[in-house]
Amino acid sequence: MDYVSPFDERRRTPEPLAPRPDELRGARVALLDINKRCGDQFLDRVEALLGDHGAHTFRLVKETFSKPAGPEIIRRIADRGDLAVEGLAD
């Protein structure tokens, strides 16, 4: 019997982190709801906190949490957002 590891054991070159803004004022922040229970409540709070710091937010919702975000959602985040927050909760 063969056993298959659920982990990706390939060696990858580390990717550099994206540059971080100095402040949030005026930043466009994508809030991605992955469609898990209470994730929208978490993002409500994050949205309020970001607003307090002058950020502008917009929301997107994945079809289901168990699959990657589709190309259209990724494109919308890249085209419209400076930052992204992915909300997951249970």
List, run by run, the mean pLDDT of 10-residue segments along the chain (90 residues).
Answer: 77 85 95 91 96 97 90 95 86
| Collapsed DSSP state (helix, strand, coil) of residue 83 | strand
Among the listed residues 35, 21, 28, 90, the one whose alpha carbon sits nearest the alpha carbon of residue 64: 35
Name residue 83's beta-bridge partners: 29
State the pLDDT at residue 46.
96
Q: What is the enclosing helix (H) or strand (E) of 39?
A: helix 39-52
State the pLDDT at residue 6.
76
- Write the single-letter amino acid at 47: E
